[in-house]
Structures are given as C-alpha cells and as structure tokens.
Amino acid sequence: GAGVSQTPSNKVTEKGKYVELRCDPISGHTALYWYRQSLGQGPEFLIYFQGTGAADDSGLPNDRFFAVRPEGSVSTLKIQRTERGDSAVYLCASSFIREDTQYFGPGTRLTVL
Amino acid sequence: SQQGEEDPQALSIQEGENATMNCSYKTSINNLQWYRQNSGRGLVHLILIRSNEREKHSGRLRVTLDTSKKSSSLLITASRAADTASYFCATDIQGGSEKLVFGKGTKLTVNP
C-alpha cells in the first residue's frame, strides 16, 4: 500500500508570503503528526491530530503556524507571514493506534528567501 | 530541549564491521524508536522497543533498552555501504501525548 505522501516536495517562497503544506497519511491511520527538522538537527514536534481534532499543538512555535485535518485524513499545515527562520524540512507522520510506530513521509523542504 | 541524545555524533567504519550507536534520555518512556534518514529527507522506521522489553532483533539490527539507566543502543552487524545514513532515536514520553522526541542523531559512514 501507499505510504505517507507530502506535497509539494520543495517550496520556495519570499519572506512575508503565506504557504500551505499538505500531508496524506496512510489509509486508516487515525493519528497524524507534523514535525520540523532544521539542518543538522533531529525532527522537532509541531502538532498531533487524533482524528479531526488537534490533541497536542504545544510544538507550534507561534500563531503564524496553524494546521487542520477537517475530515480526519488529509492535513494541511499553514504558515502565515513566513520568515527566513521558517526554512526547514517539514515532516508528516501517521500511525494507526496510540503508542504505535509512526511512519514518516518524504518531507517538504521549505525555503524562505 | 531534546529528550534523547545520541552518541557518538559521527561514526566512520569499514564495510563488514559492526556499528554501535547509543541513545540516552531523561524521563520515563512508553517506547523508544530508532529511525534512519538518508540525505536529510524522510525517516525510515527501524525498530520500536517498548518500556517493558529489554532487547529486540530485526535482521542485522539489534536494539537494547535499559530503563534503569535511561539508555538504548542500536547495533548494526556486518555493515554495508548502503547503511551510510543518519540514525535517530526517538522517545514516546510516559504521561505525555503520543509525540516523539528526537535526538540530534548519529551520522554513520560505512566505507567500502
């Protein structure tokens, strides 16, 4: 079956612009996670969905970041007024049940000029 | 702050040798997972070990967990050039949400 997919694979934008990053989880997975990875670092947690609701959004760095999962499947991470410091690889993962293995997508590399 | 910390930060070995990477963490966990990452993109899941387990094997991989020392190790036996990658441990913290907390990783280079 298909794994987690993310689009676009690369996104270049200008400072101050709005971007949307999409994640398609593995079919049937109820949990979905967003992480951000800067160069030379491990991934850092942003937000976790269980179904349609955000169960933990403690990792979102500020109110410019927002994520939705309206039908409990596809999720969109939205970043307003992008800053150069937002440049990173944004990773999405999904899992079937609590405490189960998280399967990661290939990531979206965001570059803010 | 990061929960997990891998050691060493970088490791270079010859093909056929074994590679051992260690991970230490700070708080009680539900499980610990090891991932591999090539070229800074998607992470590939290797092994999940639960807090009540001490050792797991998968092919050439062996993972141990010592909850009293809050540490884990990943052993790759008979390494191959294709094992060259960054390896991360990630912990699911007890009492927290299901988010994973990653270390900075160990960069493994296997020379042919």
Any idea which fold B5-111 has? Immunoglobulin-like (2.60.40)
Q: Where are the alpha helices (DSSP H) in B1-112?
A: none
Task: Return the SS3 of A71.
Answer: coil
For B20-50, the pLDDT digits (tens) are: 999 999 989 999 999 999 976 789 999 999 9
Span A63-86, pLDDT tens digits: 999 999 999 999 999 999 999 999
A33 close to B (CB below 8 A): yes
Question: Is A43 within 8 Å of B45 when comparing Cβ atoms?
Answer: no
Per-residue model confidence as pLDDT tens digits over A24-65? 999 989 999 999 999 989 999 999 999 999 889 999 999 999
**Which residues, at least 6 apart from B9, have a Cβ–Cβ distance to it below 8 Å?**
B104, B105, B106, B107
Selected residue of B25, B36, B98 to mutate for chain A interface (largest A Cβ count, 10 A): B98
pLDDT of residue B39: 78
Strand order in the sheet with A5-7: A5-7, A19-24, A75-79, A65-68
Q: Taking a contact as any Cβ pair under 8 Å apart, which residues of chain A between 58 and 97 contact chain B?
A: 58-59, 89, 91, 93, 95
How are beta strands B10-14 and A88-95 bridged, if at all? Answer: unpaired
Q: List the domains of chain A with CATH numbers.
A: 5-9+24-106 (2.60.40.10)
Q: How far is the C-alpha of A11 from the C-alpha of B55, rounded, in Å?
A: 41
Average of per-residue pLDDT across B95-102: 84
The pLDDT-based confidence of B3 (bands split at 50, 70, 90) is low
Q: Count how many Cα atoms sit within 13 Å of the Cα of residue B64 in the half-sphere of its side chain.
A: 10
Enumerate the domain spans of chain B: 5-111
Across B42-68, average pLDDT: 95
